Amino acid sequence: MEKIEHSILNTIVESPYPVDILGLEPNTYEVTMNKPWHSFQIEELAKAFLRLNKLGDIYFYYKNDSIQIRPGLAELKLNLTSGPLKDSKKKGVLYYALTKYGGEKWESYSNPNWAKYIDYFVNHQDDVIEFIANCSDLSRLDEFILKFSHLVIHDLMMMENTNEMQPLVPFEVTYWKTLPQGFRYSCRLQPRNDSVMKNINVYSMKECEEFLVWYTKATQD
């Protein structure tokens, strides 16, 4: 697998993405994706998209209708450079996603440890914050919850009778990967003072980046 193809697959392991994401300017891409710019040119990306689609590793669809399509080189280049085509506004944005086969190929190159994978998010509405985390390994999930608690303990307090741990059988890890079992932890929190809500988006677990690593990026020759 070429480096460009592996890079494309890496972007959609956890969720599908709009094609035009890869066509963003370097600085915008890095802020949006929270990772270094891929350094590939539009022509290279479009041709790599076509190869991966032909091999059955990825599929394309317009968000508004979700019907799988096979775009040509010109359509891909236009989406990469200017977002959705003017004559395709009714269809919406062109997305690309992993097939099950493509996911298995990505696994063979990236050596993921699914027991280490943690899917989490922090939602906030008014003065209530909802924290949810999923993992197939209960002890690792407990450790992650503890790290999150230490991160927010001075700003947030748990609402009474809102924390819950439940089994997930089966466990849909991502949109293309399913495991026999997993666990979900959820709780609701409230700020200790008004200023916390203004800065709630800082809880991105950057302090735990090493802990959250769950796959090895294969070295490309």
Locate the domains of the chain by residue range.
3-110, 114-208
Using CB atoms within 10 Å of the CB of residue 141, give its burial: 0 to 12 exposed, 13 to 18 middle, 19+ buried.
Answer: buried
What number of other Cβ atoms are within 10 A of residue 204's Cβ? Answer: 12
* Type of residue numbered 150: H
**Cα distances (Å, whole numbers) of residue 216 to 22, 119, 220:** 22, 17, 12
Structure tokens at 9: 């697959």
Which residues are registered as beta bridge partners of 86?
none
Residue 43 sits at the vertex; the CA angle it makes with 42 and 44, to the nearest 5 degrees, is 90
The CB-side HSE value for 189 (13 A sphere, CA atoms) comes to: 23
What number of other Cβ atoms are within 10 A of residue 88's Cβ? Answer: 17
Q: Residue 220: what pLDDT?
A: 41
Q: Residue 205: what pLDDT?
A: 58
What is the C-alpha separation between 9 and 14, in angstroms, rounded?
10
Structure tokens at 189: 């929190």
136-172 pLDDT, tens per residue?
999 999 999 998 888 777 778 888 899 999 999 999 9
Q: Which helix (H) or strand (E) holds 40?
A: none
Structure tokens at 1: 């697998």
Give the pLDDT band of residue 218 (cuts 50, 70, 90): very low
Q: Which candidate, 136, 146, 221, 134, places its Cα nearest to that of 186?
A: 134
Residue 113 reports pLDDT greater than 50:
yes
Name the class of domain 3-110: mainly alpha
Provide mean pLDDT across the span 31-53. 93
- Contact (CB, 8 A) for 216 and 6: no
Burial 24-62 (b: 16+ CB within 10 A, else e): beeeebeeeeeeeebebeeeebbebbeebbeeebbbbbb
Residue 212 reports pLDDT greater than 90:
no
Structure tokens at 35: 């990772």
Most confident segment among 90-99, 117-126, 157-166: 157-166
Structure tokens at 54: 């032909």
